[in-house]
């Protein structure tokens, strides 16, 4: 087997007589990448590979995307030319010319690398010569490598390495700019979502407060008795609202957790003067991190609010049973209403609260949400991966 010194011949780039540079071609290539970055950023990388082939005269090219230190794997993407059929092929980070390129952080030239890397030979790939150029996002985070294969040995020179390095540097900067734009876009979307959520919560708080006043007025005989009862319920509502708004915090001992039963109890308590008469809670102890607690509290808050407006809690006799169990790495919460208005059919449209619960369960937790509109009352089943609760 040949030594790596026989395979990696990067010094040849400086020994070979360079071809006459085509600065106009390089300038037009940069201009085209700029336009793609503005109008269609998803096209920057595939066009970068096309330009690499056009400028260097290679027979195949692609980008080995680095998937991260956890996997230690590259993935071949945007392949062009003779090796296009290997699109999506995984290659090892620590046993490949691409890994050497990132380690050296400079253009690398390799001669028949299949002689030193068995996986290349096993795939039936013959590489007379390959020029590899590192790509970093913003000049720092390793993104992967551009590689270009020639038809024969002795093809690439220092001019090819210089041109491809300049284009790779620009592409890395463009990727960094795109990442920043995406982060800004997500931040703006989150801000809009929070504003809509806050508006919805405030409306719900007024609706709950109005319901509390009506319920308290019916169940008390004096203004003093009413004030005392209403004050207690409003304090409970405040506690529930604080729980929903709580942010992620870390103590010196690690992630703070709240027991699931405590979260549910705190949220539903404002909806029932006599908790045991309207609610039945049953389930094992389940620890929830602060972020998970916020999500569960929000979901319970919305279900309880809807039950107070339209469901079991809108009548004197209505009840809600909440039970939960854990099995097979899943937490299942079942919300069952009874004694409320009879349900003839599922609603034709969903309100913001229902959409918010769905988004919380599916997006935050990667869970499932099922509604069963039974005549006797709504049954909601929430299934969450246990591993996503300690966040």
* Separation between Cα atoms, residue 265 and residue 279, nearest integer Å: 9
- Chain segment 186-195, per-residue pLDDT in tens: 667 777 776 7
Which range, of 50-59, 273-282, 316-325, averages the lowest pLDDT? 273-282
Residue 305: is its pLDDT beyond 50? yes
Residue 243: is its pLDDT beyond 50? yes
* Separation between Cα atoms, residue 269 and residue 306, nearest integer Å: 15
Residue 251: is its pLDDT beyond 50? no
Residue 110: is its pLDDT beyond 70? yes
Kindly write down the DSSP assignment for every residue of 82-114, as one continuous string.
TTGGGTT-EEETTSSHHHHHHHHTS-EEEE-GG
Q: What is the mean pLDDT of the segment spanning 371-387?
A: 94
CB 70, CB 151: distance < 8 Å = no
Identify the pLDDT of residue 143.
87
What pLDDT band is residue 70 in, cutting at 50, 70 and 90? confident
Q: What is the mean pLDDT of the segment spanning 126-137?
A: 93
Overall CATH class of domain 220-388: alpha beta
Q: Would you list the domain boundaries of the chain?
A: 4-182, 220-388
Kindly write down the DSSP assignment for every residue of 358-384, as one continuous string.
HHIIIIIS--EEEEEEETTEEEEEEEE
Identify the pLDDT of residue 177.
64
Q: What is the mean pLDDT of the segment spanning 239-254?
A: 49
Strand partners, 209: none
Q: Please tell me the CATH superfamily of domain 4-182, with its number.
A: GAF domain (3.30.450.40)
Cβ–Cβ contacts within 10 Å for residue 376, how many? 13
Query: Residue 254 — left, alpha, or beta (φ > 0 → left; ψ -120 to 50 → alpha)?
Result: left
Q: What is the mean pLDDT of the segment spanning 351-369?
A: 83
CA distances from 309 to 207, 212, 243, 272, 379 (A): 8, 11, 21, 13, 16
Higher pLDDT, 106 or 38: 106
Q: What is the mean pLDDT of the segment spanning 275-282?
A: 89
Per cent of the chain over pLDDT 90 is 43
Widest CA span of the chain, in angstroms? 102
Q: What is the pTM of this model?
A: 0.51
């Amino acid at each position: 087997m040949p030594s790596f010194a026989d395979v990696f011949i990067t010094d040849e780039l400086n020994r070979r007589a360079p071809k006459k540079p085509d600065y106009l071609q390089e300038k037009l290539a940069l201009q085209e990448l700029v336009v793609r970055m503005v109008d269609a950023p998803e096209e920057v990388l595939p066009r970068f590979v096309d330009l690499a082939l056009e400028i260097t005269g290679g027979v195949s090219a692609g980008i080995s995307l680095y998937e991260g230190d956890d996997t230690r794997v590259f993935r071949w993407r945007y392949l062009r030319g003779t090796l296009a059929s290997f699109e999506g092929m995984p290659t090892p980070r620590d046993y490949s010319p691409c890994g050497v390129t990132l380690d050296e952080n400079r253009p690398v030239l390799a001669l028949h690398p299949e002689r030193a890397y068995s996986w290349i030979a096993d795939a039936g790939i013959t590489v007379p010569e390959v020029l590899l150029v590192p790509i970093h996002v913003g000049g720092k985070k390793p993104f992967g490598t551009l590689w270009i294969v020639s038809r024969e040995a002795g093809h690439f020179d220092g001019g090819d390495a210089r041109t491809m390095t300049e284009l790779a540097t620009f592409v890395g900067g463009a990727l960094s700019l795109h990442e920043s734009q995406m982060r800004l876009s997500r931040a703006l979307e989150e801000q809009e979502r929070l504003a809509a959520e806050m508006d919805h919560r405030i409306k719900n708080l007024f609706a709950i407060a109005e319901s509390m006043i009506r319920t308290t007025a019916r169940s008390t005989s004096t203004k003093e008795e009413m004030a005392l009862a209403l004050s207690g319920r409003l304090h409970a509502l405040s506690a529930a609202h604080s729980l929903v708004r709580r942010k992620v915090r870390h103590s010196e001992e690690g992630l703070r957790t709240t027991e699931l039963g405590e979260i549910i109890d705190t949220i539903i308590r404002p909806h029932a003067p006599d908790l045991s008469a309207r609610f039945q809670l049953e389930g094992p102890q389940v620890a929830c991190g602060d972020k998970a607690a916020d999500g569960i509290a929000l979901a319970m808050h919305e279900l309880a609010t809807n039950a107070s407006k339209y469901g079991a809690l809108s009548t004197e006799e209505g009840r809600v049973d909440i039970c939960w169990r854990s099995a097979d790495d899943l937490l299942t919460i079942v919300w069952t209403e009874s004694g409320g208005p009879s349900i003839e059919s599922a609603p034709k449209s969903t309100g913001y609260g229902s959409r918010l619960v769905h988004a919380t369960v599916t997006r935050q937790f990667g869970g499932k949400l099922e509604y069963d509109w039974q005549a006797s009352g709504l049954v909601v089943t929430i299934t969450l991966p246990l591993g996503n609760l300690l966040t």
